[in-house]
Amino acid sequence: MKEVILCKYGEVILKGANRSDFEAKMMKELRRRAKRIGSFSIYYAQSTVFIEPDDEESCELIDEMFEQAKHVFGFVGITKAAVCEKNMDKILEIVKDYIPRKLLGYKTFKAMAKRSDKRFPLGSPEIAGEVGAAVLEATGGRIKVDLKDPEITVCVEIREKYAYIHAGQEKGAGGIPYASSGRGLLLLSGGIDSPVAGFMMAKRGVQLEAIHFESFPYTSERAKEKVLELAKILTDYTMRIRVHVISLTHIQELIRDNCDEDYFTLLLRRYMMAISVKLAHDYDCDAIITGESLGQVASQTMKAINVTNSLSDIPVYRPLIGMDKEEIIAISRKIGTYETSVLPYEDCCTVFTPRHPRTRPELEKVLEEERKLDFDALVEETYATRQAIVVKLFGGTINETERSIGDNNE
């Protein structure tokens, strides 16, 4: 019995003249992943991508390929299906042999059919009826029919060349294909929020670069490793992320020694924004991405955000801006970053935290404090500490600091 993977389109199906561009990116992403696993033929028809093992060895690896397909943006449903000739007797034979193992642990099911080939002699209701009866016979009645709220659905799809039989379609990653909406620079800390922000923008087709600010020796090497591990988890969806690590230590010490303590965080975030904008321009990023949520901390009030925003000449996207913490945590658990995010290692923003941070700052007062230091010179000095580390889904990390700025080759 031949088994294939079916990947069902989401909103890509609604695209117009440029739909083929989206499809090409989804296919490219699947093929890049498949190349690392085995030999698979990948093609699409009727708003579905088919992943077919080319040999016996790859048949044994279909579960691994299935897990990879679930992380490709653009698909809303992923399922493994048995392939059958379009003959009702053959279909029922495979249903009895293939489906019972898919129903283990379930108490109720429903059968349905999708008949894309209208030349098939039976209509969808008749096909579903016969398939449901075959399932009941093959399972000895241990699972019951529930047409309104079944625990699992058994489906037969009658397509152009073959029939496809499956049960228990799983959710895909959704969204639109990765790297179909330009490039964005993610401010990646070691916390819960920023990896979620990166995931949400990647889901909308944004290719991620990342920047991480460290404060050695006030933050440890393990804190940096934690951030690289978060980037590694995100590569389940992006395959690779380049993380630019920049040291803020000197700036933080100078702000501490020369400026009003209450403005420490605001001044620091303005330096972070200026450095991020410079990096974004050097690496052809169209936007900055942060994990800020309105009112979550003192530096994320509306006035504080405006003080930071004034330094950017490109859009700053904050996909979490209207979310509460529980909503953000739920997504972090879903994408697998939560357990790493809560590891107790330091973050640069927790170093020299003011006792009474300004929550309603006036820009002119911030600028007055900022003029106590040579802002532009410190941005250039700090930018020069940059280390570029590429984190890959398949493989480890590569330090590419020695490459020239602007080398964006994959």
Other CB atoms within 10 A of residue 348 CB: 24
**Lookup: tokens for 251:** 């700036």
pTM for the model: 0.91
Q: Is it the case that residue 288 has pLDDT exceeding 60?
A: yes
The angle subtended at Cα 204 by Cα 202 and Cα 209, nearest 5°, is: 30
Judged by average pLDDT, the poorest of 210-219, 231-240, 339-348 is 339-348
Q: Is-contact 366 266, C-beta < 8 A?
A: yes
Q: How many CA atoms lie within 13 A of 54 on its CB side?
A: 9
Q: Is it the case that residue 354 has pLDDT exceeding 60?
A: yes
Q: Is-contact 72 25, C-beta < 8 A?
A: no
Gap between the Cα atoms of 255 and 263, Å rounded: 9
Picking from 245, 211, 237, 243, the residue whose alpha carbon sits closest to that of residue 393 is 237
Gap between the Cα atoms of 263 and 8, Å rounded: 51
Gap between the Cα atoms of 375 and 267, Å rounded: 10
E-state strands within 116-206: 144-145, 152-158, 163-167, 170-171, 183-187
Q: What domains does the chain contain, in order, with CATH numbers?
A: 3-171 (3.30.2130.30), 183-399 (3.40.50.620)
Amino acid, single-letter form, for residue 247: S
CA distances from 30 to 11, 47, 242, 285, 380 (A): 18, 15, 21, 24, 40
* pLDDT for the residue 409: 43
Gap between the Cα atoms of 222 and 194, Å rounded: 18
> In sequence order, which ranges of 36-176 are alpha helices (DSSP H)?
56-59, 62-69, 88-98, 124-139
Q: Is-contact 199 38, C-beta < 8 A?
A: no
For the chain, give the percent of residues with pLDDT over 90: 81
Q: Which residues pair with 108 in a beta bridge?
A: 144
Name the 3-class secondary structure at 75: strand
Q: What is the pLDDT of residues 65-112, one digit of tens each?
A: 999 999 999 999 999 999 999 999 999 999 999 999 999 999 999 999
The interaxial angle of helices 221-238 and 193-203, nearest 10 deg, is 20
Q: Is-contact 55 43, C-beta < 8 A?
A: no
Q: Is-contact 332 192, C-beta < 8 A?
A: yes
Q: What is the pLDDT of residues 300-338, one digit of tens each?
A: 888 889 989 999 999 999 999 999 999 999 999 999 999
For the chain, give the percent of residues with pLDDT over 70: 95
For 167: left if phi > 0, alpha if psi spans -120 to 50, otherwise beta; the answer is beta
